Structure 1
């Protein structure tokens, strides 16, 4: 297919019937999007030396020399009413350094919220989210992206909860002594005894257990022991893209039985096996050409430009994202799917036309075109994750009389 015909097909696909955009706008006005994962804080730290004065979020940050995928105008255009801001740190930062670096990241989120009070407000409960979104602001929540961030200490977990952390992803890219990653060799065989204590303490203090990044065995073990619903804050369906970061159907069903939610990731590598293969090939070609950085398609020179001409990028678009959402809804039910796009954590990538936080309505228009009801669209946008938050808070109230446990990971370097 020529480039002209390809773009014509994309434009035709992206142009819904005239009644759909107003309908989507009405749905999202009543039920603005709550996204499960955004890495803006880490991008500000690494690209702008944690200097908020170097980034004006009231303007389009896609035009910066070091572009971002998030800003206030695009959040408004995307109908975002709630955002879990990730306080990610690399998995190789461990022990006391991990706790300190996590505090630095939490501080960045708090400073963002304080700097733009007209746009953001910190939310600690589901009721906060509803109130803040109704006021036209973005309810700002915090999620930690890896159990290594507590430094092997339940005391640190509790204090992070006191600072507003509402979920913790149990692992990132590396396995821990108490929980296994989907992209590393197993060390815990699912959950160690300390891992089970971590989940129990999260239930007790009202912190959501996030099973994105964990191995299948760890996910199953968490579902065995958690008294509260879990989330997968930014994962897609393995049946459509066979990546270990995605969730197989059997575990989708178990998450549904637990009352949890799987929040679909927008990274093309987790949406399309064809795109993932193309991306791996392009990275290999760039390395062979001696390139340190990977230039965007259309901006490469020499051997990489030749490779690009010979290997057109596979199309990943709103329909591809919708396929994952629809698959999870079919397998787990419409009550158990949400959105965790991973913007500013996906290196400028994203489906066609979905490179930033303004793009959520495209997904809802595609699902509306496929016959989704207003009620199911509202569940996807916010209803399902709010239900999880309500139930996690209820479990914490039920466990209020249980005393804290001062347990530490026996294998942690921070254990006295």
Structure 2
């Protein structure tokens, strides 16, 4: 699943065509997941039809705040990132990795990649989140010791990206090089136009071309293509936030002993919200459990956070990072700096979720700009 659609003529869909696209994906056995309105937030959930999309809803975000609001049009994708990312479907928060019995009767149960992982179709993947999936591909998939469960889910996924034309107040994907246009990795990419009445469609894979062929569409005109591309390009200049234009890795190295870490720690609750909503944080821990009789045992893998006090616990020696300042410094330095050393890329895609869902409103772009002397 790669490409940018350059080898295919862009197509045009109307609102009915979007409905049919969802129907076709369901008919082909995919569990279609997309944005929907629930509990006063735009969340990702399985769709029964395109009617479940949050048409006419947008969001207002700022540090530590998130509010849905009514739009004055019927746009289905007229909102920025919500509290969830696609990571939860490819790298689940909790997964059983082994089960067995004391007497050894029967084969141990395992949840492996070939245990029929769901065939997901992701509808509405933004450029930042598409880059996050690519980041997880590098961390969990293309390694010497890949996470086979992740690889199985990813291989079966169909991705419908959405190019952004209205960045949110906390978006900074342009300064991270991940948006607002979707990069490689999609099967189809949509650009929503005319308040949700029309969609420009780019094809990024043979699978995407095959699905599009089953959906009523027409070739897009030159004016439509130019207008849609221009709207996406213009979005790069209306980002709500921006990282400093400097080498972030070197900036963090130079400020390793900065008093700014203690100042941030005075506000940080070390709750781990930022790592839970981050679309690229991948750390896990394992837990062994048994039933009351002790006859059945299971091993579960669960999301973990470097903000947890026990995350770096060493037997007999306690926790390596005992202060909130050291834990925050570790998270930010890894995310923006040493991730490059490990994986050859940044661990941040500029989605802004960590800013919106931090209870005390800590803004990593503000912290980095302050560190760079730009604030």
TM surpasses 0.5:
no
Higher RCO (CA 8 Å, separation ≥ 6 residues)? 2
As a proportion of its length, which structure holds more strand?
2
Q: Scaled by the length of structure 2, what TM-score is found?
A: 0.30
- In our comparison, the structure showing a higher alpha carbon Rg is 2
As a proportion of its length, which structure holds more helix?
1
